[in-house]
Structure 1
Amino acid sequence: MRAAVQHRYGPPSVLESSEIEIPMPGRGEVLVRVGAASIHPGDYFIMTGRPYVVRLVFGLRRPRNGIPGRDLAGVVAAVGKDVTALRPGDEVFGWSTAGTLAEHACVPVDNLVPVPANLSLAEAAAVPTSAMTALQALRNIAKAQPGQTVLITGASGGVGSFAVQIAKALGAEVTAVCSTRNVDLVRSLGADHVVDYTTADFTRTGQRYDVILDNVEAQPLSAVRRALTPTGTLIPNSGHGGRWLGPIGRIITAHVLSGFTRQQLKPFTSVETRDDLLTLADLLATRQLTPVIDRTYRLDEAADALRYIGAGHTQGKVVITL
């Protein structure tokens, strides 16, 4: 099978289009014929090995898994022993730690759910990591609810575009922060108010919010806190930062400050669960959630796709189609 493979950390040029053996599903696994796979900034950081702290998890000298990608949608090609919930021919979407930028991927059965009937494989592939991050941040961490005001920075990006819709589904009043070219997009996703960061600074408008999901972290914590209510919740959610520790410095600062203020400063790391994927599938099926796809690329264009991700400013998700 064809796959995008890397043998060392580096820029997108380290990716090679290679022929490798089709993996065999183990006990409790499913072999998926990949129809589409989405990528996000985390995939870019793992590919480059920067910030260097990612190498502690993914391999010190080179990536332990040479195939990038985590999210996928496709058709079940074969099932391993003891798998009864899925059968060959089923359309599924979910996530895999084995790499998804390939024609086939082995996935634990608990990491997959059926594709809603109203979604294409490309749309389904765009969902898992980014939408689950938005869901867990707003529902589990911030506990957003009707009547609350929620501000989302990076509202037109991968996580942000899902977050706007999920906050609305939770009943919140949503303010989206984006650039001029994305104002119409975030309004179409349900944002009640829009702040164009090219002409206004949300930390200086005098408006305060119950919840801020900061997907950009372009402002100091002290400035963002000015836009929080006295007991509001700030969730920093960005992988940016120095080349050694990335966002860890900001995370430590947030934890320390939390001990001296009534405001809740809560960095978090999302953890994929099947229950949350089923929740997202329900939101998709009822059209409360719609994936935004910026660009699609072929598998042999994976390097270009990751280069585009690395440049920032995507509108929604970037998807590889096979």
Structure 2
Amino acid sequence: MIPNKMKAVLLTGHGGIEKLDYRDDVAVPIPAAGEVLIEVRAAGVNNTDINTRIGWYSKAVTEDTEAGGAEGYNCIDDNDASWSGVPLSFPRIQGADVCGYIVAVGDGVNPNRIGERVIVRNMLRTYVDYRPYECWTIGSECDGGFAQYCKAPSGETHAVDCTLSDAELAAIPCAYSTAEGMLHRANLVAETVLITGASGGVGSAAVQLAKRRGANVIALCSSSKADAVRALGADHVLDRNADIVSALGMGSVDVVVDLVAGPNWPQLLDVLRRGGRYATAGAIAGPICEIDIRTLYLKDLTLYGCTFQEDIVFENLVKYIENNEIRPRVAKTYPLSDIANAQEDFLAKRHTGQLVLLPPKV
């Protein structure tokens, strides 16, 4: 029996952690035509959840994500504070990662889907009619996984047959699709790739996915996490504060996968070979960087900004899971009601891998 009310975390506005309101009286969503209702068993914590909460995507913000991660910012413009640039509607249930079981279906969906264990593609294209370079993020433009129940388009809700736990599966949609999207866009093959932020959710995913493609992986992370990142498959690990050019040499890398940006960003272009490729999907150390345009054109570099993902990216992830080719590292799990501590731990960045929230079972 599906209840009328559920436990969920409501984001009540842009700001600090106090804007997250754990409630037990939130209406259970009703799946519309073409949608399914999922009983959520686990939901990962991601940068995009925090960035959306604090309004970091607003062009008024020029600081790193940690500067306002707990308290928020005073300078944001609500009109451009979501990743899509469209003002967010509140209250909103966040959570870009959804792992759970289908418990009901809307019109036009085969009822045989009820009972499937599923993950949801986090970059939804159904609601924008599959227009190129447009999508909704679940947990941003529509309600997400920080709840006991969530609805999603049936066509973007993927059944997965694997031995991973619910928490492990919940660590995959956002982090791994972001990482795979960058590798796909940069067309990484058996080359040398430098990955920044390699101990985080997306970075650790990128290490595994790059190794799967046969790449020689150089990872940047804090020295305290070096062994854990090597265990993920990195061939070489450098301290995140290292002088990259001195350590690697000019023109020594084929591809850079960057999640950090910040003041050391120019070195990332310096270590790229002529004709090299740079892909980014984050800027946790700061979004404002200086570029010498001569480096860009004299070395024939290609820069990729990676948000939109082709359909094949998520479809491939499901195959990798079912073929036991990837296994996410879950650093810690928390009850959904403990979301404040989970986000504080996420911001402290003392972990390697993913933090995951577990809603109470119905």
TM-score, normalization by structure 2: 0.79
Separation in structure 2 between the aligned mates of residue 87 and residue 235 of structure 1, nearest angstrom: 37
Cα gap change, 1:164/1:83 in structure 2, threshold over 3 Å: closer, same or farther? same
> Within the alignment, does 1:11 sit opposite 2:16 as a pair?
yes
* Match of residue 110, structure 2, among 68, 73, 84: 84
Matched, 1:264 2:263: no
What amino acid is the match of 1:203?
A: V
Say whether the 8 Å CA contact 2:13–2:91 is kept in structure 1. Answer: no
1:113 matched residue in structure 2: 158
SS of equivalent residue, structure 1 residue 50 = coil
What is the alpha-carbon distance in structure 2 between the residues aligned to residue 12 and residue 103 of structure 1?
20
Separation in 2, partners of 1:237, 1:41: 11
Superposition deviation, residue 67 in structure 1: 0.9
Q: 1:123 to 1:67 in 2, by over 3 A?
A: same
Is the partner of 1:13 in helix, strand or coil? Answer: helix
Percent identity over the alignment? 32
* Cα offsets for 1:133-156 (capped at 9, x unmatched): 1111112x211112x111111111
C-alpha separation in 1, matches of 2:248 and 2:226: 21
User: How many residue pairs are counted as aligned between the two chains?
Assistant: 311
In 2, the alpha carbon distance for the partners of 1:127 and 1:270 equals 17
State the partner residue of 2:99: 73
The answer to whether 1:46 aligns with 2:52 is yes
Residue identity opposite 2:316 in structure 1: T
Distance 2:92 2:285 in 1: 25
Task: Map Cα deviations across residues 284-316 of structure 1 (whole Å, 9 max, x no partner).
Answer: 222221111122111111122222223345411
Contact 1:46 1:58 in 2 (8 A): no
Question: 1:73·1:125 contact (CA, 8 Å) conserved in 2?
Answer: yes
Matched, 1:201 2:222: no
Deviations 1:173-194 (A, max 9, x none): 1111111221111111111111
Contact 1:157 1:313 in 2 (8 A): no
Matched, 1:295 2:332: yes
Extract unaligned runs of 5+ from structure 1.
Answer: none
- How many Å separate the matches in 2 of 1:134 and 1:100? 20
Please give the secondary structure, in 2, of the residue aligned with 1:101. coil
Partner in structure 1 of residue 127 of structure 2 = none
Cα distance in 2 for partners of 1:197, 1:220 equals: 10
Please give the per-residue CA displacement for 1:63-101, whole angstroms capped at 9, x wherever unaligned: 445111111100111011111285211111113332210
Alpha-carbon distance in structure 2 between the residues aligned to 1:161 and 1:261:
29
TM-score, normalised to structure 1's length?
0.88
The equivalent residue for 2:356 is 319
Please give the alpha-carbon distance, in whole angstroms, between the structure 2 residues aligned to 1:16 and 1:111.
28
The RMSD of aligned alpha carbons is 2.4
Distance in 2, matches of 1:272 and 1:43, equals 22
Are 1:296 and 1:320, in contact at CA under 8 Å, matched by a contact in 2? yes
Conservation of the 8 A alpha-carbon contact between 2:266 and 2:291:
no
Residue 263 of structure 1 aligns with an amino acid whose one-letter code is L
8 Å contact kept, 2:104–2:111: no
1:87-236 alignment runs, 5 A limit? 87-94=113-120, 95=122, 96=138, 97-139=142-184, 141-146=185-190, 148-197=191-240, 200-207=242-249, 208-236=252-280
In 1: Cα distance, 2:146 partner to 2:347 partner: 17
Select between 42-51 and 163-172 the one with higher mean Cα deviation.
42-51
Cα 1:209–1:85 shift into 2, 3 Å? farther
Unpaired segments of 5 or more residues in structure 2? 1-5, 60-79, 123-137
Residues in 2 aligned to 1:11 and 1:262: alpha-carbon distance in whole angstroms: 42
> C-alpha displacement at 1:280, in angstroms?
0.9
8 Å CA contact 2:259, 2:281 repeated in 1: yes
The CA distance in 1 between the partners of 2:269 and 2:295, in whole Å, is: 11
CA displacement at 1:233 relative to structure 2: 1.0
CA 1:196 to 1:111, structure 2 compared with 1: closer, same or farther past 3 Å? same
